[in-house]
Chain A
Amino acid sequence: MKRPRRMFGLLALLIVLAMIAAACSDSSDDTTTTTGGDETATTSGGEETTTTAAMSGEGFTFGMILVGPENDHGWSQAHFEAGKYIEELTGATMISLDTVNPADRPETSVEQVVDDMIEQGASLIFATSDDMKDGIEAAAAAHPDVPMIWSSGDSAWAEGDGYRPDLPNLGNIMGKMIYGKMFAGCAAALTSETGKIAYLGPLINDETLRLVNSVYLGARYCWEGAGNDPAELGLEVNWIGFWFNIPGVTLDPTEVTNAFYDGGADVVISGIDTTEALVVAGQRAAAGEDVWAIPFDFVGGCSEAPEVCLGVPYFNWGPSYLGVVESILAGDYTTEFQWLGPDWSDINNPDTSMIGWVAGDALTDDASATVDTLITGLGDGSINLFVGPLTFQDGTPYLADGEVATDAQIWYTKQLLEGVEGASSAG
């Protein structure tokens, strides 16, 4: 994934004015510095965390490279908070640098940032975006003694297309958001009155295709479970072209969402960084329409329009990142590719679960219970939605009858499933 937020700066003087405004307002809420403070680590809210203080990481320093702002209420903030979680639990020190992307820091490369962090004593680096692939691979080669994690990558996956056996110090961590998207699809199908669900897609690649397919599988499962004809379930995808709106370049997500609702869809599931889908749903509901939306990424994602929010699937990077730090401290760290699902015994456990789902205010109790049943079934293995027969849009078989998809078949998804309306490739 990649979440550069402030790419494509607009007119120069506007930027200047905006940044001055930002400086004036930011000075107060930026007091939680992440560097320094070896002794104690306090939570920003002043809340005591009850910790079973895992292992002392006093004196251990790790670097966290973020692609977007550390307070973006999305992808980057989720990583930043995982770093703070490690600081709280172990006493280790985080050095973080946010907005590391070619638009916000055109003069800075990932390799330079890694060099700086190591110079400052970091003995572990997290590079938390697909965007950083080339940079973190070069840095890992330049510092073979420093363990590094490239989140969302596949460089340490022996079966993966991007396997780099020559980089034994570079591991990968990613969350199985396919499950989160199944929950979202299920909630949407149970709520929709028209049977038409829409997906506000970012750009087309393996990751986004597999997430749309997961929505469809979750939706179809719950739609059929409610006694409906699967032929009457519609999932329409429209790709705006990027992770967020770039005026004049991407489609406008607000317009796309409105077009979805105008076209008869009543639930829009967001796959983009920003919250247009939820905002539009809130406005239209205020005007008396029966519409809903499902945001993405961040545990607090429903907050902009809770009354129309069916729930939010989110990432929780803390436990897996903590595991890396602890194994390094214990001296038994091994580089691996980790694609982690939820902790099925409690998917919202902040200390164990990689993927979570918060049911929204707009989801009925009955529907929420059905989603919980799906969660239980997926957890105990009695339900598996990536099982054949499944066919791609162009009619080629994806999974034969009874065939269970391997991780590689899911990770490297090249097409939307049959039954999904929308483009499978940009060309």
Chain B
Amino acid sequence: MRVAAPTLVALSVALAFGVVLLILAGAPPFEALWLLVLGSFGSASKMAATLLAWSPLLLASAGLVITFSAGLWNIGVEGQIVVGAIVATWVARSLPGPVWVILPATIIAGAIGGLIWALLAGVLKTYGGVHEIFGGLGLDFVAAGLVVYLVLGPWQRTGQASTSGTNIFREEAWMPEFETFGTAWPVIPVALGLVSVFAVWLLLRGTRFGLRLKAVGRNPQSSFLLGIPTNRYMLGAFAIGGALAGIAGTVQVTAFHHKLVPAISGGYGFLGILVVLLAGFSAVWIAPIALFFVAISVGSTQLDLRLGLDSAFGGVFQGIIVLFVMIGGAWSASRGSFSQAVREEP
């Protein structure tokens, strides 16, 4: 809870700043903010859309908490989502059978894809001496190239190759939804997201692995001297983070697009990094912060549709929030309290 106070102050400042921007853009600020709420929670279908976008962000963020705990900047998370989506797509396209076979198979496939991609960055880091930011970034590009190649080449849709993606999967490969209140609810994606957040929280808080991982993250040299196999722990963190990112990729292809598209990651990896930074590297705050972020994204469509505001406003608003929270964090840290609080939180 110690993270909360400076974060709330920063949020309020960011909100005020957003209002000023809206006024400058010639939009009625309170109507605009209300449209954000209506656009993301105003109806059953809007809520379902918000929850569906929330799920991959939760998964990616949960994985990032693990890698951050190990002191790793897992910039490769985008590529891990993409490769997870690719492997899940491969299974969805080639595995016959009913939904109860394909559903677990695509989830496992996504996890394996993300895990392998993350371990590549991990091996480059631990055995190749390549910093994980550069290794991860490079692997992001490779994954982005791979997905474009697959969509336009071997997996091109019937008729003509198109950036609109592969053919739509047959319905057995769609993640099942639950129809009630007049809309289809993404129950499975949300469950995957929440369970992963809870599991990560539990892992870091209540297990030997988690404690040692945090020790590695804080001071790898000392940990190593004290007998912790730091490389193995770092690789373990990459594996877990990558697997969760890969499942986010599965959600993207089987629950949202129902096909593979070039921009399959949706940027949820990078957005996840922002979420985790805002959450002060703690699993507890991921869920509400991620929900807040996707609500802005989903709701901001209404600003464009109804007020004619620029489509970038939602992103601008998210950016402002991150900046103010980071500034707030740095300011608190300079007073000595904040960094301590961040590090203590699991």
Instruction: Give A residues with C-beta under 8 Å from B.
Output: 2, 4, 7-9, 11-13, 15-17, 19-20, 22-23, 26-27, 30-31, 33-36, 69, 95, 97-99, 101-109, 112-113, 115-117, 120, 129-134, 154, 161-162, 203-207, 241-243, 246-250, 412, 426-427
Contact = CB atoms under 8 A, between A and B. Distances in A.
Contact of B316 (A20, A104, A107): A20
Interface stretch (B100-108, B149-157, B239-247, B338-346): B149-157
Contact of B307 (A8, A22, A35, A205): A35
Contacts of A27: 21, 24-26
Contacts of B50: 107
B13 interface: no
A419 to B, nearest CB: 23
B162 A134 contact: no
25 contacts: A2-B162, A11-B75, A15-B270, A15-B319, A16-B274, A16-B318, A20-B319, A22-B312, A23-B316, A26-B312, A27-B24, A33-B308, A35-B307, A35-B308, A97-B304, A102-B257, A102-B264, A106-B265, A130-B162, A131-B162, A133-B164, A241-B152, A242-B163, A248-B141, A427-B154
A11 B144 contact: no
Contacts of A241: 148-149, 152
Interface of B: 21, 24-26, 45, 49-50, 52-53, 75, 141, 144-145, 148-149, 152-154, 156, 158-165, 168, 256-259, 261-268, 270-271, 273-274, 294, 297-298, 301-302, 304-313, 315-316, 318-320, 322-323
Contacts of B322: 13, 16
Contacts of A69: 311
B163 A4 contact: yes
Nearest to A10: B270
Contacts of B267: 9, 103, 106
Contacts of B308: 30, 33-36
A91 to B, nearest CB: 17
A281 B18 CA distance: 43
B162 A107 contact: no
Most A-side CB within 10 Å, residue of B144, B168, B318, B323: B144
A195 to B, nearest CB: 31
Contacts of A109: 49, 256
Contacts of A204: 152, 161
Contacts of A426: 149, 152-153, 161
Contacts of B158: 161
Contacts of B162: 2, 130-131, 133, 205
A136 B148 CA distance: 22
Contacts of B318: 16
A30 B294 contact: no
Contact of B306 (A101, A102, A120, A162): A120
Contacts of B160: 205-207, 412
- Most chain A beta-carbon contacts within 10 A, residue among B45, B158, B298, B311: B311
A64 to B, nearest CB: 11
A99 to B, nearest CB: 5
Given A17-B319, A108-B301, A248 B310 contact: no
Contacts of B164: 2, 129-134
Contacts of B141: 247-249
A58 B90 CA distance: 51
Given A99-B311, A248-B144, A9 B270 contact: yes
B264 to A, nearest CB: 7
Contacts of B144: 8, 246, 248-249
A117 B305 CA distance: 8
A206 B294 CA distance: 37
A4 B160 CA distance: 18
A414 B300 CA distance: 41
Nearest to B17: A20
A107 B297 contact: yes
Nearest to B252: A106
Given A12-B273, A116-B301, A23 B310 contact: yes
Nearest to B319: A16
A102 B311 contact: no
Given A205-B161, A242-B163, A249-B148, 5 more contacts: A2-B164, A105-B297, A106-B297, A247-B141, A248-B141
B28 to A, nearest CB: 12
A30 B294 CA distance: 25
Contacts of B258: 134
Nearest to A154: B159
Contacts of A206: 159-160
B71 to A, nearest CB: 19
Contacts of A30: 25, 308-310
A69 B304 CA distance: 12
Contacts of B320: 20
B159 A161 contact: yes
A291 B157 CA distance: 38
A108 B46 CA distance: 10
Nearest to A23: B316
Given A26-B310, A97-B304, A102-B257, A19 B319 contact: yes
Contacts of B24: 27
B204 to A, nearest CB: 23
Given A117-B305, A426-B152, A19 B266 contact: no
Nearest to A206: B160
- Most interface-central of A102, A108, A120, A206 (chain B CB within 10 A): A102
B163 to A, nearest CB: 5
B311 A203 contact: no
Nearest to A101: B263
A225 to B, nearest CB: 32
